[in-house]
Structure formats: C-alpha cells, structure tokens
Amino acid sequence: MQEPSDCLQMYFKGRFPVNQFIGRAYLCQGQLHTPLSTDNLEEFEKFVMFFLKAIDFAMHDPRYYFLIYNASVLYWEAVRPYLKPGFRYCLIPSLSEIVKALNQTEEQDSEWRAELMINLLECFLDASKMKEAEEFSSTAAIFIKENAPDKYSQIFSLMVMLSSILLIEIQCLEYEYEVQKLGTKIMTYTKGVVEAQLKLIKNLELTLQHAVRLGDPNVIQVVCTTQWNLCLPLLQHNLHQHVRKPLLSVADVLEEIDSMLILLRCQVHMEVARIEEDEDRIEAAIEHLQKAIHLDNNGQYQEHLRVTFNRLRLCTMLYRSPERLEDQAVMMIEQAKKGKQKDNVRKKRSLLVNAGLALAPDSFQVVLDSENEAKVSSGKSRSQISYLSAKAQHHIKSVEKVDGHLKCLGNENDKDRIRLWADLAKVARKQGVWDVCRTACRFCLLYDDTLFRKVTKPKKTIFILNWVIDYSISPWELKEKIKIYFSGIELNDHAVPPEDTSQHPTGYVAGLSESDPEWKTYSLWIKYLSQYAMENFQRAAEIGEELNEAWIVHNAVVYVLNYNKHLITAGRQREIIEYLQTLLRAIKNVGHNGTVILLMLCNALARGLILRWIPKPRLVEKKKIDATTDRNRKAATKGPEKANFIQFLSICEFALNLTTRTMPTDTVPIAVRQQIIATWVKAKQLHQQQIGLQLVTEEENNDEAENLIARVLIGLEMYSCNGLGLMDFTVPSLSQLVKLALDCSWSDSLVELQTLTRLTHFAYVSNEYEIVMTCSQRILLVLNYLLLFRPENTMRQEMLSTAVCIQGKSIMANLSGKKHLRVTASKAFVQSARYAGEAGNYSLVMFAARQFWNTCLPLIGSPYDREQFKEPTEVILKNIIKAESKNKQVRISNSYY
C-alpha cells in the first residue's frame, strides 16, 4: 500500500494536466482508505472525502460523467460494513450526494439509480429521520415507477413501513396525551383512573407487537419507552402485579434487539424482580436482578442491587443458617414479612425480636424492656405517683444502654446495619408490633448522630442518606411512635396527676406539690418524650431538605400537624413555634406535595406568632386611659412589634398567594381558605392596615366564584375584628355583604351555614331584623339539602341552633304586642333546643330554654295557652336530658383515653 500512496503523492505534487486522470487519482486515493469495519470512523471520513472530490471534479465536464458512475459503484462496494442497523446513518450525507449527482447527470442506468435510492431511503428510516424519509420517498417512488418498475414493490414496501412507523409513533403520542389529560387524577388512584391507565397499557402491548413485526429497532425502542412511562404510576405495591406482563414484554423485546437503552433495561428488570418477589417467585426475581446487575454499567443502582440480591439469595437458603449476624437478621425479617394476617402476633413478634437481638445482642433486649411495665419496680411504696416515677426511671435507665452499642461495633457494616434497622422498624410498624418498632428506630437513629451529622461534605451526606428514599416512611418519622399515648397523654401536653382513689380521713385536703421529687421526675420524663418526638419530626424535615425530597418534608409536616391538633385547637401554637418555622423553611426550599397542608402549616405558624399580640378583653372603664401615656407606650414598642407584625403578615400573604396560584386540579377547600383569611385579617388589624374591600367588580373572570366567596369571608372577618379595643376596619354595608353571600355558589355547606349564621348574628346586633329573617330563611332552605342528624354533623347542628335562636330573638325584638309573633318566636326557640340537643351542646339547649321560658311567661296565665305550650316544653326537656347524656358519655370516654 505504500507504493501506490507514494505515487499518488508525487502525482499531486507535480504539474499534472486537467483531465480524467485527476478524477481517477482521487478515486485511487479514496480506495486506499477503504473502511474494513465500523470501528474506524476517521478512515471512513477520509474515504468519503476523496470520493466526493472525484465526483465534484467530474460534475463540471460532461466528458467525465462516467467517473461519477464508476465512483458510485466503487463506493457501494466499499461501504458494505456500514449496511447494518445502527450504522446506516453514517452513509446519509455521502450517499445523498452520489444520488443527487447521478440525477443531475441523468445517468442512463435507471436500475442502478433506483437501487441507490432504495438504499438511501432505508438509511433515513434506520436513522429515524422520518421527515426526510417522507420527502425523499415521494420523489423516489415516481422515478422508480416510471423508469424501474421491477423495483417499485421494494420502494412501496418501504413506504408502507414508513407509514406504519409514523402511525405507531402517533399512537404512542396519543397514549401519552391521554395520560397527560388525567393530570393529577393519576395520584388519586381511584378505580376509574387505574382502569383507564391499564386500558392504555393493554393497547400499547398490541402496538409493541406490531413494532416487533416491522423489525425497526428505533420504533421498538420508542414503544418500549412509552410503555415504561405509562407503567410508572402503577408501580405501587398493590398495583404493580397488573403491569407484570407488559414489563416482561418490554424487557424481552429490548433484550432481543440488544438495545442501547441500558438504563431503561436495568430499571425494567429491577421492577420485574420486585414484582416477582412479591408473588413469591424468588428464582425468577433473582434472574432479573442478575440481568439488572449486568446492565448497571455506571453503578447507579449498585448498592440497591447488591443488598436486594443478597436478601433474595438468603431466602433460598432453606436448610442452612448464615454465618454473619446481619444475614441472620435479614432471614428473620423476611420470614416476618411473609407472615399472614391470621398468624399469631406472638410468633411475628418473636421473629422481629430475634432479628433485633442478632443486630444488637448486647443491648436490644434491655432497650426493648424499657416499655415493659412488668419490669418496673416501685419499691415498698404503693402510691401511683411512686409507680409513675419508677416507670420513668426504668425507661430512662434502659434507653441509656443504646448509647454504647456503636462503640462495641465500630464502623463495621454501617450501611447494611442502617438498612436492616430501618427495615426492621418498617416491618414491625406494618404488623403493629410497636415496642419493637420504637426500639429499632432508636438503634437506627444512632447512625444519624454518629455519621450523618458529622459529615461535612454535602455530596457525601446525600450519598449516605439516600437509603431513606428506599423506604415508604423514614425512621425519623417513625419516631412518632415513641408517642406518649401509652401514658395516656397527648404529644406536648403536660403530665396529669392520677386520680386518687384511696380513702382518707375527714378533713384531708387533696393536693400534689409540683416540687414533689417523684412527680417532678415523671413530669420531666413526659416532657422529654414530647421533645424527643418533636426533634425527630424536625430532623426528618431537615433530612428531606438535604435530599431535596419533598415527600419526606411533607410527611413530617402532616405528622406534626396531626399530633399537635389538640394544641392548635386550644390556641397553644406558640409552644411549637420553632418546629413550625423549621418545617415552613424546609417546605419552601424543596417545594410542597399539597397546597392544603402548606396552608394549614402557614396558618398554624401565623396564629402562633399573632396570639401573643392579641390583647385580652378589658372592662370598658379600663379602656379610657391617658392618651399621652398610650402614645409613649406605642412608641417604645413600635420597633419590635412592627418586625413581628411584618413577619406573620408575610406568612399570611404567602399563603394567600398560594390559593390564587393553585391549578384547577389542586383547588383549596373553602374551609382551609377561610382559616388563613381570618388570620390575615387579624394580622392586618394588628399592623393597623385597612383593607380596601371592593364587593362589586365590573370585570368578571373564570375564578369569579372563588373571588366572591373570598370577599364575603374577608368582609365577615372584618366585622368580627371590630369592637375589640383594636383598630376598627372600615367595613362594607351589611346588606351588600349578605346579598353577595346569598349570590355565591358554595361548595362547602358547613362554611355556608357558618357564614350565614355569623351574618345573622351581626344583623341582630345591628338591629337589622329584615336581614336576620332573610339569613334565617336561607339557612332553613339549606337545611332541606343536608343530612343533619348524624354524629359527624355536630358543628352544623350547633350553628343551626344558634341561627334559629337569633331568629327567635329578632322576632321578639319586633313584637309590638302581637301574640301570634310571640308564639312564632317560641317555636323558633324550641327548634333551636332540638338542634342543640342533637349536637349534645348543653349550654345552647339551656340558652334556648331560657329564651323559650321568657317568651312564654306572659301567656302561661291562660289554661288554653298553657296547654298550647305543653308539647314544646316536653321537647325542650327531652333535649336538655339528651344533651346532658351526651356530655356525660364524652366525659367518660375522655377519662379512659
């Protein structure tokens, strides 16, 4: 090869004549770089370059057109290695130029031109350049039909394939569009939504079969990718068995064509392995895991695959016990997982306890016994206080044993042990073995204190903590199960002295000193348990923030709000204000999984900040203070107060902005919106800012219904805030507000009733009795569409009782000596008592009874009138007894809580 190369170099260096030999020299130069395989693209590019130079030279003189034909034949013989799927795209630029040159020179060998055209179309199809293929096929088909009819069947079949490929791709797009139309409904997992998704997946299975028959690897990969995307939402534990067959088809087809979608193939095999494992087909699951391990080239799932493969391998060891303690724990946890619901709880617990003992033989049982009351010894004293103190000391002493666990182990198998403790906690939680769950969490969280918090490099931190994502609930959230309900006390509540049932001599005064050492020990322990649980919720949010996992932060927020609901209801949000601030910061940084939860968090935090600034009610005579003294006091506190007002006002406005930015599929319930509006209006009042409320707008928009309701609620809260010794709002007229409320389309009947009831009250206070009657009639109209007499409608019944009572009082205020109006008012008070009795509200029943008695008093002198009021009086007495009975039941149930 060296001699021809030297000769060509000498030829090109000399002064050669411009004739056909220049073209021949270029062809020879190109043949020296003939590609022998697809491995060396550089040589192929040199080959193409010299051949295209020869063609370009020949194009300028008709005498040398024969060189173009010769170049096309030599080119076609040399590019044979590239005529295989996945490499044809390399030929498109050069082959296009050759076909174009032959067309321009009107080469007489039409059969040859047709052959090259067909092959160029195949190259377009192989490269998935559908637009170019469609444009080229139309012109090529006309030429072949006229000049080479024998080859028309080939071009026609390619055109059919092109149409089929385009049709398949359009079908894939249509299926994806159908899923997009479902929107956030997918996350609801209702029966109709799931069935719609499964129908699309089934249709796509037929499309995949069609694509396999066509044999085009690219279109097969498109269909497989679409199928995977459709299956993703259904990979939940209770649904993934429905997508086993489609995923198996995807895995097999991609394996047959040796697809380069390595990551997709790895993920599909991982999910199929999980499905097979859940169906107890362990051998099949191991087979798919081995394929996934082989495909995990970049090691993205290396740790997960290693742990899962080891776990399944241990499941196949029926008659051998593994040597490693960690492997023994794995086997026992797996056995506990496979236990059936009707299995004995003691058997499940035994397996879980043994797994814990395998992981911590020196300390697990001691820590587990911290909750075992049988181990508590109160000494000679038999008092309940002594017993509670001993219980607290026993728990504290037992839990201290966990601190030395890691010192014995060192850093051996840290990652495996973290997973095993978390897995043990998860299985114990699912099976309701709470003491094992809490104990496993304590051991798991040791690694948070010794590893996670000491790591300074962010990347390393995320690498260590990523195991959390493999679990449906993080151990930090599981620590809420350390809950102090086993002591009969709710989270963050204070210890309650036990009821003293012992007999005492006459003159004994019951009492318990706060300085009593035993009671102090117990109280501090209860406080510590609450603090420990709250710190773990807070830590869960911090971990979610570090990992940028919104669901972890969301779960932490839900737990904090749920377990502190009694505090929030009682207006004690200030006790958990620091935790709420941490949660809001985390949820702002990582995003939220639900607008409603975020609004509830904002409202709880804002209320906690506001409450300390709301002055307590004062007597009227104490309101008149010296104006100068008042101004001095305001000036002294203006700086810090203003900063605080701006803080909770900004939180309220952030929440209100969320309600206006929510998508139609993520609408905020009116009840939640009402709470944040009430807090915002109070914040405005404390900050001494008026609210410019425009009840009537000229322009309408799509959200007009929501805007109308919001304006009604804002106006109502402004009325509620006035007359409390703070700045009074400039409020709209009550008649306008009522008219707007009556025109609204309410989606929540409870909020509608509450709004109308409050408007009725303000109308009565303002002596606008016509508005009182209007609102009362509307309330009774709403009543016809509601199921009132159910336990869950207690609040609704209370509001109805209040509204009807106000209606009766309004009638009495406009009596003007008319006897029939007095009778009408008495009927209203009877109806009020009936609603209050159903609600179990004793105070409302008694208030209605008092109003009824005062109304009837002038008429009871007549025997006829007394007879007329006999039945209503019996109704009131029955409802007094009913309300008292319900109150008694509530008190008894609370005493056993």
Among 77-81, 616-620, 683-687, name the most confident range.
683-687
Task: Give the span between the Cα atoms of 763 and 741, in whole angstroms.
Answer: 14
Element spanning 479, H or E: none
pLDDT at position 10: 63
Find, among 485, 365, 327, 356, the residue nearest to 422 by Cα: 356
Residue partners of 413: CB distance under 8 A and separation at least 6: 326
Find, among 327, 519, 341, 364, the residue nearest to 446 by Cα: 364
Residue partners of 709: CB distance under 8 A and separation at least 6: 670, 673, 744, 746
Name the pLDDT band for 409 (thresholds 50, 70, 90): confident
Q: What is the pLDDT of residues 566-586, one digit of tens each?
A: 999 999 999 999 999 999 999
| 59 and 97 Cβ atoms separated by less than 8 Å | no
pLDDT at position 501: 63
Name the pLDDT band for 252 (thresholds 50, 70, 90): very high
- State mean pLDDT over 293-320: 88
Maximum pairwise Cα distance, the chain: 142
Q: Taking CA 421 as the corner, what is the angle to CA 415 and CA 422, rounded to the nearest 5 degrees?
A: 90
- State mean pLDDT over 694-701: 49
Task: Give the span between the Cα atoms of 427 and 416, in whole angstroms.
Answer: 16
Please state, for a pLDDT cut of 70, what percent of the chain lies above it: 83
Q: What is the pLDDT of residues 343-358, one digit of tens each?
A: 677 888 899 999 999 9
Distances (CA, A) of 888 to 261, 474, 488, 794, 875: 68, 41, 20, 16, 20
- State mean pLDDT over 274-297: 93
**Token pair recorded at residue 664:** 């139609």
Instruction: Return the residue matching tokens 């719609």.
Output: 196
Measured in degrees and rounded to the nearest 5, phi and psi for residue 106 equal 55, 55
- State mean pLDDT over 237-263: 93
Residue partners of 96: CB distance under 8 A and separation at least 6: 120
pLDDT at position 246: 95
Task: Mean pLDDT check: name the lowest of 97-111, 230-244, 468-482, 821-835.
Answer: 468-482
pLDDT at position 699: 42
Q: What is the pLDDT of residues 157-189, one digit of tens each?
A: 777 767 777 788 888 999 899 888 888 788 888
Task: Give the span between the Cα atoms of 585 and 542, in whole angstroms.
Answer: 10
For 859-888, letters b (16+ CB in 10 Å) and e give beeeeebeeebeebbebbeebbebbeebee
Name the pLDDT band for 152 (thresholds 50, 70, 90): confident
Find, among 163, 111, 118, 123, the residue nearest to 141 by Cα: 118
Find, among 80, 52, 81, the residue nearest to 67 by Cα: 52
Q: Does 627 have pLDDT greater than 60?
A: no
| 61 and 19 Cβ atoms separated by less than 8 Å | no
Task: Give the span between the Cα atoms of 813 and 402, in whole angstroms.
Answer: 72
- State mean pLDDT over 635-651: 66
- State mean pLDDT over 111-128: 82
pLDDT at position 895: 43
On whether the pTM is more than 0.85, the answer is no
pLDDT at position 468: 42
Name the pLDDT band for 480 (thresholds 50, 70, 90): very low
> Where do the DSSP E strands lie in 572-721?
none
Q: Does 619 have pLDDT greater than 50?
A: no
Q: Does 231 have pLDDT greater than 60?
A: yes
pLDDT at position 14: 61
The DSSP secondary structure of 833-880, one letter per residue, reads: HHHHHHHT-HHHHHHHHHHHHHHHGGGTTSHHHHHHTHHHHHHHHHHH
Q: What is the pLDDT of residues 385-399, one digit of tens each?
A: 888 889 899 999 998
| 605 and 577 Cβ atoms separated by less than 8 Å | yes
pLDDT at position 187: 80
Measured in degrees and rounded to the nearest 5, phi and psi for residue 570 equal -85, 0
Residue partners of 235: CB distance under 8 A and separation at least 6: 243, 271
| 753 and 799 Cβ atoms separated by less than 8 Å | yes
Q: Does 413 have pLDDT greater than 80?
A: no
Q: Does 623 have pLDDT greater than 60?
A: no
Please state, for a pLDDT cut of 90, what percent of the chain lies above it: 31
pLDDT at position 464: 39
- State mean pLDDT over 709-717: 92
Find, among 248, 297, 303, the residue nearest to 271 by Cα: 248
| 680 and 653 Cβ atoms separated by less than 8 Å | yes
pLDDT at position 792: 54
Give the residue with greater pLDDT, 720 vs 216.
720
Q: Does 665 have pLDDT greater than 60?
A: no
Measured in degrees and rounded to the nearest 5, phi and psi for residue 291 equal -65, -40
| 352 and 427 Cβ atoms separated by less than 8 Å | yes
pLDDT at position 1: 56
- State mean pLDDT over 8-28: 70
pLDDT at position 829: 93
pLDDT at position 275: 95
Distances (CA, A) of 91 to 57, 169, 593, 677, 821: 21, 24, 50, 67, 99
Q: Count other Cβ atoms within 10 Å, centred on residue 464.
A: 17
- At 593, is the secondary structure helix, strand, or coil? coil
- What is the phi-psi region of residue 492: left when phi exceeds 0, alpha when psi lies from -120 to 50, beta otherwise? left
Q: Does 248 have pLDDT greater than 90?
A: yes
pLDDT at position 695: 59
**Token pair recorded at residue 216:** 């085009």
Percent composition of the chain: helix, strand, coil (DSSP 3-state, to 5)? 75, 0, 25
Q: Does 483 have pLDDT greater than 90?
A: no
Name the pLDDT band for 137 (thresholds 50, 70, 90): confident
CATH T-level topology, domain 2-163: 1.25.40
**Helices then strands, each counted (H, E), the chain:** 40, 0
Q: Does 229 have pLDDT greater than 90?
A: yes
Name the pLDDT band for 16 (thresholds 50, 70, 90): low
Task: Give the span between the Cα atoms of 277 and 413, in whole angstroms.
Answer: 25
Instruction: Return the residue matching tokens 């007894």.
Output: 881
Q: What is the pLDDT of residues 489-542, one digit of tens each?
A: 888 988 888 776 666 666 655 555 667 888 899 999 999 999 999 999 999 999
Name the pLDDT band for 679 (thresholds 50, 70, 90): very high
Name the pLDDT band for 465 (thresholds 50, 70, 90): very low
Find, among 228, 109, 236, the residue nearest to 172 by Cα: 228
| 476 and 537 Cβ atoms separated by less than 8 Å | yes
Find the Cα–Cα–Cα–Cα dihedral 199, 201, 205, 211, rounded to 10°.
Answer: 120
**Token pair recorded at residue 156:** 């026609």
User: So what's the architecture of 184-315 in CATH?
Assistant: Alpha Horseshoe (1.25)
Q: Does 833 have pLDDT greater than 70?
A: yes
Task: Give the span between the Cα atoms of 396 and 387, in whole angstroms.
Answer: 14
Q: Does 471 have pLDDT greater than 60?
A: no
Name the pLDDT band for 893 (thresholds 50, 70, 90): very low
- State mean pLDDT over 753-765: 91
- State mean pLDDT over 436-448: 88
- State mean pLDDT over 406-425: 82
Give the residue with greater pLDDT, 220 vs 619.
220
Cα Rg of the chain, angstroms: 40
- State mean pLDDT over 742-770: 89
pLDDT at position 698: 42
| 545 and 555 Cβ atoms separated by less than 8 Å | no
Q: Does 789 have pLDDT greater than 50?
A: no
Q: Taking CA 780 as the corner, what is the angle to CA 779 and CA 783, rounded to the nearest 5 degrees?
A: 90
Is the C-alpha dihedral spanning 59, 61, 66, 70 positive or negative?
negative
Q: Count other Cβ atoms within 10 Å, centred on residue 715.
A: 26
Averaged pLDDT score across all residues of the chain: 81
